[in-house]
Amino acid sequence: MTGKNKQKLVVIGNGMAGISTVEQIIKLGGAYDITVFGSEPHPNYNRIMLSYVLEGSKTLDDIVLNDWNWYKDNDITLHTGTTVTKIDEENKVVVAENGLAVPYDRVIIATGSNPFILPVPGSDKEGVVGFRDIADCNQMLAAAKKYKKAAVIGGGLLGLEAAKGLVNLGMDVTVVHLMNDLMERQLDHNASAMLQAELERQGIKFAMGKQTVALLGGDRVTGLRFNDGTELEAGFVVMAVGIKPNVAVAKASGIEVNRGIVVNDNLQTSMENVYAVGECDEHRGVCYGLVAPLFEQGMVLAKHLCGVDTLPYEGSVVSTKLKISGVDVFSAGEFIEGSEHTVIAAKDEWKKTYKKILLKNNVIVGAVLFGDVTESAALQKLIKQEAQMTDEIYATVMGTGCCGAGAKKGTSVESMADEEIVCGCNGVTKKTIVDAVMVQGLTTVDEIKACTGATRSCGGCKPVVEQILQYVLGDGFKSASKQGICGCTTHSRDEIVAEIRAKGLRTIGEVMNVLEWSQPEGCSKCRPAINYYLGMIYPETYEDEKESRFVNERMNANIQKDGTYTVVPRMYGGVTTVEDLKRIADVSLKYDVKVVKVTGGQRLALIGVKKEDVPKVWEELDMPSGYAYAKSLRTVKTCVGSTFCRFGTQDSMGIGALIEKKFERLDLPAKFKIAVNGCPRNCAESCTKDIGIVGNDGGWEIFIGGNGGIKARIADAFCKVKTDEELFEICGAVIQYYRETGKYLERTSEWVERVGLDDIKKTILEDHDQRKALVERIEVALQQVEEPWKKVLNDKQVLRAMFQSTSPAAAE
């Protein structure tokens, strides 16, 4: 058809349900002139990833599924920030709140759902929000900067994601839940208890069995009151007690509505040529609040609208997957056992895994998995098929068989239907993945991710994608699907380093050529990694390749979202001088710096420097860089220690400055932070640093592997030393061992868990020859990064004397 002859399709809702249906229509070659209305001022984004935006690991741009250009490239008219109020059946137009009227031949209502707000006194106070869109995220991000304590009402999937995000923002968060088990609609008691224990370890508090009867405060919320008379302080409250279908436009248009918009097996409403898809609809009396059903509905609807033969939509097997900060949970079908069930269960408290399958008359009717969800897709399929349990199925899903070995992988995906959804976050089917392997010759999970989007979001479907790869590639799977440091190579970090050493490879180009990179120039992931490994192996001869570093490192400043940069000068141990402060103020005024902020690392950040001004700002500051942009030592945080504090037992400021001057500028696998405390009161927060140092009357205690970021981790106690010399030696050995064995971009919190604390202790504390060799190698590396102005500061006494004015004890 020509553009004039195309039927007009209007989609009300720019979310995942509506746009995934549009994507399927485009793939099927549907001849429609498409107009999309969205109430939000954004293109289509992945709501499942909102928790990642909240915790700070992703931005809105990172979770956009279809950018502005996608609509333009597919000739789709998009009206953002525009809410539809009515479908005028008589005149066949869709009417928006701004008066815009768009004619239609067919309409898809995909308005999603709204958060359910508890009808309790105070629910309309300032500081009470739901958690459904980017606007809610922005409110939560703003609240985290002003308020310390937050409450999340609701212990379901959404509430737990919100809680974890707020904890990562530094808030003290309590999840308030009416029931005694978390996610009680998806998990049994055992899985719920394991989930709660893990989330408590990650910093979330819980108030279980509590019914909120009022929100306290004046104009703004200050707390919650429960039905037992107890109260909880909170300056911010997130309502995550459930959702309700958004049926406003259907009601206003005279379309049949029950709890949701009533649809038949073709997803058609009571109004001719008007359809509904996703969380807003009700099919056979069921409203679905999960992602997989909306993709299944969208595929049926797209085929129906394109005249392609398809089976009707007969409902979905409800399943839930939770992946939050490393916690994997899955449930499908029936999960609470009764007298009519046969229960197959296995619980491993050491590996923190739990698996339960429920049978009814030997038919598989439900399952719960915790910790290891590899068999989730297989179980979901078996439940949907109402399959009979057999010895073969038992061996496959329970991981048993001959000599305890697991059943042959791939059998579960072999029986999957082509249109079955593998990646619920992005609506990727088995057929899409199989076609990517067979037609495009893809052989790795990374390649499939880049091509189809599968595993791009939460990553929970990765085991199934790997099984499909194995099923399609057969004997060629092992070598073809081996994962390297990026999609350009199948070589791991250890293999690359070993080959560089064994073959004497000296440049990035040599490494890629000899190791047969699939992309001759590499990518933004592998080039910085190889650049680091070469510099670590050959500190005296390797010439750093600046163009292979990230933009922040090339600019010596951190790029911000508006294109300006943040410049952070070094302040050793958090101590500065009047002269340096004046210089910072003068430069900030001269170059119109937007904000001067005290950072968490006890420094001043000059935020909002124009790109062209960055070199001039550094020149006029005439201060060493704080390396806030680099994979190196960022900060050494200190308390005032014995110099000023009545509790201090050690000179934390002096030692902190010495350590910072000692190890600054040295390239490391990832950013690195140290803290030095003058006493065990831990004011400098050593417990969340890569190296934490705590002073006591007898010397120093050293901790390693702490992290206060996205993957929070309390540091492990490493050793105690009596002298400053021992302290420097141990710190140097730890840093060098991390340099030599850490993966690029791997923080010490991950490194300690991967390598093992016992191994690190054995290498550094027990093997004195090894420790001596590590210290010698780091000294060689440090000599290569010294600048002329720094050479005069090598003497310990000179360094201590620098702090005499503020730290008399440091000069002793």
Secondary structure string (H, E, C) spanning 135-199? HHHHHHHHHHHHCCEEEEECCCHHHHHHHHHHHHCCCEEEEEECCCCCCCCCCCHHHHHHHHHHH
Q: Is residue 706 classed as helix, strand or coil in its secondary structure?
A: coil
pLDDT grade for 793, boundaries at 50, 70 and 90: very low
Give CA–CA dist 741/427, Å, rounded.
38
% of the chain surpassing 70 pLDDT: 92
pLDDT at residue 83 greater than cutoff 80:
yes
| Model pLDDT, residue 381 | 80
- Is 719 annotated as contributing to ligand binding? no
- Whether the per-residue pLDDT at 457 is higher than 90: the answer is no
The residue type of 280 is C
Which tops the pLDDT comparison, 789 or 481? 481
Same domain for 91 and 226: no
In the predicted model, is pLDDT for residue 470 greater than 70? Answer: yes
Predicted pLDDT at 325 = 55
pLDDT at position 269: 98
Judge whether residue 87 has pLDDT over 70. Answer: yes
Among the ranges given (489-493, 499-503, 585-589, 790-794), the one the predictor scored with the smallest mean pLDDT: 790-794
Q: Residue-wise over 487-508: b if at least 16 C-beta within 10 A, else e?
A: bbbbbebeebbeebeeeebeeb
Q: Are 678 and 648 within 8 A, CB to CB?
A: yes
Question: Long-range pairs for 208-212 at CB < 8 Å and ≥24 separation?
Answer: 208/155, 208/177, 208/179, 208/180, 208/181, 208/182, 209/177, 209/178, 209/179, 209/180, 210/176, 210/177, 210/178, 211/178, 212/118, 212/120, 212/153, 212/176
The yes-or-no verdict on residue 804 having pLDDT over 60 is: no
Average pLDDT over residues 218-230: 95
DSSP output for 311-354: PPP-----EEEEEETTEEEEEEE--S--TT-EEEEEEETTTTEE
pLDDT (mean) for 387-395:
88
Query: Quick one: pLDDT band at residue 306, thresholds 50, 70, 90?
Result: very high
Query: Among 83-87, 191-195, 240-244, 422-426, which is the least confidently predicted range?
Result: 422-426
**pLDDT above 80 (res 320):** no
User: Which of the pair, 720 or 323, is modelled with greater confidence?
Assistant: 720
Distance CA 117, CA 242 (A): 8
- Amino acid at position 756, single letter: G
Q: In this structure, are 797 and 654 located in the same domain?
A: yes
Element (H, E) at 34: strand 32-37
Q: Is the pLDDT of residue 2 over 70?
A: no
pLDDT value of position 721: 93
Q: Is 639 annotated as a binding residue?
A: yes
- Only one residue has tokens 């031949």, namely 105
Domain match, 73 and 201 both:
no
The DSSP result for 53-98, as a single string, is HHHTS--HHHHEEE-HHHHHHTT-EEETT--EEEEETTTTEEEETT
Looking up tokens 């001596």 gives: 772
Neighbours of 554 (CB within 10 A): 12
Q: Is the dihedral of CA 288, 293, 298, 303 positive or negative?
A: negative
Residue 648 lies inside a defined structural domain of this protein: yes
Residues 6+ apart with CB under 8 A from 422: 377, 416, 428, 429, 430, 433, 454, 461, 464, 465, 468
Average of per-residue pLDDT across 327-337: 85
pLDDT tens string 4-51 = 578 999 999 999 999 999 999 998 988 899 999 999 999 999 888 888
**Are residues 748 and 792 part of one domain?**
yes
Final residue in a domain of this structure, among 599, 630, 661 = 630
Q: Residue 608, by phi and psi: left (phi above 0), alpha (psi -120 to 50) or beta?
A: left
Same domain, yes or no: 237 and 253: no
Beta strands in 666-723 (DSSP E): 672-677, 691-696, 699-704, 716-721
For residue 4, what pLDDT is reported? 58
User: CB of 692 within 8 A of CB of 731?
Assistant: no
d(C-alpha 97, C-alpha 456), whole Å:
36
Q: Are residues 335 and 438 in the same domain?
A: yes
Question: Does residue 364 form part of some domain?
Answer: yes
pLDDT band with cut points at 50, 70 and 90 for residue 794:
very low
Closest CA to 12 of 31, 42, 35: 35
HSE-up of residue 519 (Cα within 13 Å, Cβ side):
12
The stretch 633-658 carries a mean pLDDT of 89
Q: Please tell me whether residues 165 and 226 are part of one structural domain.
A: yes
Q: What is the pLDDT of residue 125?
A: 94
Q: Alpha-carbon distance 273 to 92, whole Å?
A: 10
Question: Looking at 223, 241, 259, which one is the last position of a domain?
Answer: 241
pLDDT band at 807 (very low <50, low <70, confident <90, very high): very low
pLDDT of 256-294, one tens digit each?
A: 999 999 999 999 999 999 999 999 999 999 999 878 788
Between 140 and 291, residue with greater pLDDT: 140
Does the structure show a pLDDT above 50 at 562?
yes
Q: Would you place residue 475 in the very low, low, confident or very high pLDDT band (cuts 50, 70, 90)? A: low
The mean pLDDT of the chain is 86
Please indicate if the annotation marks 488 as binding a ligand.
no
Distance CA 364, CA 393 (A): 10
> Residues near 385 by Cβ (< 8 Å), separated by ≥ 6?
none
Domain shared by 472 and 593, yes or no: no
Asked if 484 and 513 count as a contact pair (C-beta separation under 8 A), the reply is: no
In a domain, 428, yes or no: yes
Q: Residues 654, 656, 659, 664: is their CA dihedral positive or negative? A: negative
What's the confidence (pLDDT) of residue 32? Answer: 95
pLDDT for 751-770, tens place per residue? Answer: 998 899 999 999 999 999 99
**Which percentage of the chain shows pLDDT scores above 90?**
48
Is 645 marked as binding a ligand? Answer: yes
Separation CA 59–CA 81 (nearest Å)? 20
First and final CA of the chain: distance in angstroms?
Answer: 89
Cα–Cα distance, 38 to 56 (Å, whole number): 25
pLDDT for 742: 93
Checking phi first, is residue 573 left (phi over 0); if not, alpha (psi -120 to 50) or beta?
left
pLDDT digits (tens, 9 = 90+) for 142-161: 888 899 999 999 998 889 98
> Do 667 and 810 fall into the same domain?
yes
Residue 767 counted as domain residue: yes
Mean pLDDT, range 108-133, rounded to an integer: 93
Q: What is the pLDDT of residue 482?
A: 58
Candidates 208, 209, 178; CA nearest to 196 is 208
More confident residue, 724 or 292: 724
* pLDDT recorded at residue 476: 64
Residue 260 covered by a domain:
yes
Q: Which of 418-432, 529-543, 715-729 has the lowest mean pLDDT?
A: 418-432
Question: Which CATH number does the domain housing residue 684 bear?
Answer: 3.30.413.10
pLDDT bin (cut points 50, 70, 90) of residue 380 is confident
What pLDDT does 400 receive?
56
pLDDT of residue 104: 97
pTM more than 0.85: no
Per-position DSSP letters for 669-683, written without gaps between them = SS-EEEEEESSTT-T
Check: CB of residue 707 under 8 Å from CB of residue 688.
yes
Residue 721 pairs with which residues in a beta bridge?
A: 700
Q: How far apart are the C-alpha atoms of 226 and 229, rounded to whole Å?
A: 5
Query: Does the pLDDT of residue 405 top 50, yes or no?
Result: no
Helix (H, G, I), strand (E, B) or coil at 652: helix
Instruction: Summarize pLDDT for 393-402 with one digit per residue, the tens.
Output: 888 788 654 3
Q: Which segments within 165-288 are labelled E, that is strand?
A: 172-177, 205-208, 212-217, 221-226, 231-233, 236-239, 243-245, 261-263, 274-276, 281-283
Nearest to 709, CA basis, from 746, 734, 735, 660: 746
Q: Are residues 266 and 325 in the same domain?
A: no
- CATH number for the domain harbouring residue 167: 3.50.50.60
Q: Residue 574: pLDDT band by 50, 70, 90 thresholds?
A: confident
Residues 572 and 449 in one domain: no
List CB contacts of 168: < 8 A, sequence separation 6 or more: 54, 55, 56, 709, 710, 712
Mean pLDDT of 313-328: 73
Mean pLDDT of the 781-803 span:
50
Contact at 8 Å (CB) between 462 and 448?
A: no
Residues present in the chain in total: 812
- Asked if the structure places residue 310 within a domain, the reply is no
Query: Residue 371's pLDDT band (boundaries 50, 70, 90)?
Result: confident
Asked if residue 57 has pLDDT above 80, the reply is no
Structure tokens that stand for 80 in this block: 């953002």
Tell me, yes or no, whether 253 and 235 share the same domain: no
* Region 687-704 average pLDDT: 92
Most distant CA pair in the chain, distance: 92
Mean pLDDT of 486-490: 82
Considering the domain boundaries, does residue 281 fall inside one? yes
> Does the pLDDT at position 446 exceed 80?
no
Quick one: pLDDT at residue 196? 93
Q: Which of 98-102, 181-185, 419-423, 785-789 ranks highest by mean pLDDT?
A: 98-102
Q: Which of 226, 241, 256 is the last residue of a domain?
A: 241
Q: Please indicate, yes or no, if residue 313 is contained in any of the structural domains.
A: no
When divided into structural domains, the chain yields a total of 6
Residue at 463: amino acid letter = P
> Residue 740 sits in which domain range?
631-812
Q: Is the pLDDT of residue 684 over 80?
A: yes
Average pLDDT estimate for 584-598: 91
